[in-house]
Amino acid sequence: MPRPTLTQADLVALCCAPILMGAAMLLDLTPLADDTTELLTLVAASPGRWMWANLVFLCAGVAWTVAALGLLRRLGSRSRTVALGAVGVAAGGVTLGLIEATMAYLPALAQSGASMSDRVGVVETLDASPLVLTFELVHIVGWLGGQLLIVVGLLLTRAVPRWVPVTLLVGLVGLVAFATGPGLALASCVLAAGSTGLAVHLARARQLPAPAPHTLSVP
């Protein structure tokens, strides 16, 4: 039975997902605001930046989902830990897209003629809704926990060189530690290097020729 392989779309998603995530986090205005009022003020002043961040986050969610499902198909049968992690990352990617879809209204609200207290009330009511809270919980637990499980699974199975999961772990810790600025950019590059290394290794493994069948020579 042939071993499942990664498609070109899987490989591209695996390489691009960390870059998209880092770019979106750098564009995101949320870490720059201390409260909802300040966030609305920032969004009203830079609606284009908010929409670009929203779009890139959405693309990142799609890329993480595609990459995770590719890993599940390729390595899931070899490691239950990787399989569980891939499911978590896929769930985190889907919910990230759903979260960004719910936040697309913010520039219009921030620039509306309603009073600031009314606008703040709309945002805080939506943020406190059970559906949004569930999306956020699944995204955080699935995306972070899933990647940690993938790292552990790669280390245990030795499916790839050890530097790949170590680099993934360093990049992931950096993304959590740095909300913005050069540290975040560096962490994104490190995570992208690990993901690219994983993609390259799996692509090379896919291209290895199958061993020739053993035959007995007849004298």
pLDDT tens for each residue of 7-26 = 888 889 999 999 998 899 88
In a domain, 126, yes or no: no
pLDDT of residue 8: 87
**Is 3 among the domain residues?**
no
Q: Sorting pLDDT into bands at 50, 70 and 90, what band is 206?
A: low
191: in domain: yes
The confidence band for 31, taking pLDDT boundaries of 50, 70 and 90, is confident
pTM score? 0.84
**Residue 1 pLDDT more than 60?**
no
214 has a pLDDT exceeding 80: no
Rounded to 5°, angle at Cα 118 from 112 and 58: 60
pLDDT band at 3 (very low <50, low <70, confident <90, very high): low
196 and 158 in contact (C-beta within 8 Å)?
no
- Residue ranges making up the domain that contains 143: 8-117+139-205
Look at the block and give the residue holding tokens 């004298």.
219
Residue 73 belongs to some domain of the structure: yes
Supply the DSSP string of 104-122, one letter for each residue. TTHHHHHTSSS-HHHHHHH
pLDDT given for residue 53 in this prediction: 92
Given a cut of 60, is residue 126 above it in pLDDT? yes
Instruction: Supply the pLDDT for residue 213.
Output: 47
Cα separation, 177 vs 195, in Å, equals 19
Q: For residue 199, how many other CB atoms are within 10 A of its CB? A: 23
Q: Give a yes or no: residue 31 inside a domain.
A: yes
55 is written with which tokens?
Answer: 């779009």
Q: Is residue 131 part of a domain?
A: no
Residue at 68 is within a domain: yes
Q: Is residue 217 part of a domain?
A: no
Structure token digits, residue 84? 């569980």
pLDDT, average across residues 66-72: 91
pLDDT at 177 over 50: yes
Work out how many domains the chain is built from and give that number: 1
